């Protein structure tokens, strides 16, 4: 290439007349813009999918927590019912034992002609005789 051709080429490049380098730059810039746009869309899609998954996870955790709370409440109710039934049965047993003891004491009083008093002690009852003077 001679001197005149070189000057002409430089002038076109300097003036931005569409030489090879400026065309490559534009093409490269467009490709970069496309890549930036692609990655922005990709990131938005990934973030949206993550939000969907997180919402599903939160909903599942809340549902499981609610089920657990309901189960625990049912368990507490069942335990309270069992406790109440046991307390009622113990009260009935004490009442029956008291009636039985009273019946036995009454029978002993009739047989012996003496008067007895049932005294409650440590875990069991004792029978004492009342001496009348």
DSSP string, 25-91: HHHHHHHHHHHHHHHHHHHHHHHHHHHHHHHHHHHHHHHHHHHHHHHHHHHHHHHHHHHHHHHHHHH
Taking the whole predicted model, whether its pTM rises above 0.85 is answered as: no
* Number of separate domains in the chain: 1
The reply to whether 1 falls in a domain is no
The reply to whether 42 falls in a domain is yes
The reply to whether 125 falls in a domain is no
The reply to whether 78 falls in a domain is yes
Q: How many residues are listed for the chain in this entry?
A: 133
Beta bridge partners of 129: 116
The reply to whether 27 falls in a domain is yes
The reply to whether 117 falls in a domain is no
d(CA 112, CA 130): 12
Q: Residues 33-75: pLDDT tens digits?
A: 999 999 999 999 999 999 999 999 999 999 999 999 999 999 9
Q: Residues 5-24: pLDDT tens digits?
A: 655 555 444 444 455 677 88
74 lies in which domain range?
A: 23-93
The reply to whether 53 falls in a domain is yes
Q: Residues 69-118: pLDDT tens digits?
A: 999 999 999 999 999 999 999 999 999 998 998 898 889 889 988 887 77
The reply to whether 131 falls in a domain is no
């Amino acid at each position: 290439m001679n001197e005149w051709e070189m000057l002409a080429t430089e002038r076109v490049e300097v003036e931005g007349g569409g030489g090879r380098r400026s065309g490559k730059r534009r093409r490269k810039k467009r490709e970069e813009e496309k890549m930036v746009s692609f990655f922005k869309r990709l990131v938005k899609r990934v973030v949206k999918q993550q939000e969907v998954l997180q919402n599903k996870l939160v909903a599942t955790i809340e549902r499981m927590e609610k089920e657990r709370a309901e189960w625990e409440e049912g368990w507490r109710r069942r335990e309270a019912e069992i406790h109440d039934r046991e307390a009622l049965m113990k009260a009935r047993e004490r009442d029956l034992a008291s009636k039985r003891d009273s019946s036995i004491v009454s029978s002993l009083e009739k047989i012996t002609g003496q008067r007895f008093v049932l005294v409650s002690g440590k875990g069991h009852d004792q029978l004492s005789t009342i001496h009348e003077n």
